Amino acid sequence: MSTPRNPTASAIVLGSINIDLSIRVPHLPAPGETVLQGEFAEALGGKGANQAVAVARLGQCHVHFAAAVGEDAPGERALRQLEKDGLDLSAAVHLPEAATGTALIMVDARGENLIAVASGANALLTPEHVQALPETWFGASQVLLACLEIPMETVAAGLQRAHEADLRTILNPAPARGELPQAIWDSTDILVPNETEASQLSGVEVHDEASAALAAKELAKRGPEWVVITRGAAGCLLWDGEAHHLPAYTVDPVDSTGAGDTFCGALAAAIASGQNITTSVDGAQRAAALATTRAGAIPSIPRREEVERFTARRAN
């Protein structure tokens, strides 16, 4: 039996929905080359969708998801699948002028990949759509989580509206897209980049604990109260005015796809439930570690009960 949802915890996720069309191939093709013997798979993806599902599964709280799809069959399938995790999709935008976002992915036997994304409806989610979101969402929620697979000005509008409503705001600046506008810095409480994104945003090349601390300190000067730099198997760094290095949890990894989104969703869920930043980051690391033990993005996201069992096993 699943753990009952906490009726007092609620979060808003602002982001993207993609359909991932993947082919596993013996090797990645060179320009003009056709590679045979591929294995095809279709799955729901997009950083926004991944993160929204992670919040719902790991926090057992109410999740409002603001996103856009086309008026097409892939979009309808995506929304039906997201409903299975209990997401509030009442404000999902259906756009007849665009297709649902699609990612074409080729992965070789070594795990190297080539990815091309047609953003479709994701690129047409506007600040006006954010302003039209129900006021009740912001009145009842504790956290807003956003990523950068939608237009920058739309992200800024969501963060600003949440900031004005006294929600904690979390930005995962992924995928890396260069400098952020000041409006985003001013409205972000918690910034969660990986090493590449932290390097690009701070101007400090992150390659070890010392450089991660320097980058986090620089990023905190822009406005965020906390900076969390995720470093994969090296764990993460939390900056709260001082640098705290948190080692990763040891597991036997299978696929790291979706681990970063799991981390962000788990962090948002913990903050929404009132946990402090250190406890929240530690819990996010445990959830992300578990996600790497399974293949895929959304299929790999654990539920809260699984993280609790993982924690109990480590304590024994």
Catalytic sites, residue numbers: 261
Nearest of 159, 166, 154, 219 to residue 187 by alpha carbon = 159
**For residue 286, what is the DSSP state?**
H
Break the chain down into helix, strand, coil percent, rounded to 5. Answer: 40, 20, 40
Find all residues with CB under 8 Å of 90, minimum gap 6, and list them: 64, 134
Find all residues with CB under 8 Å of 222, minimum gap 6, and list them: 180, 185
Q: Which helix (H) or strand (E) holds 48?
A: helix 47-59
Distance CA 314, CA 292 (A): 17
Q: What is the distance, to the nearest Å, from the Cα of residue 94 to the centroid of all Cα atoms in its chain?
A: 22
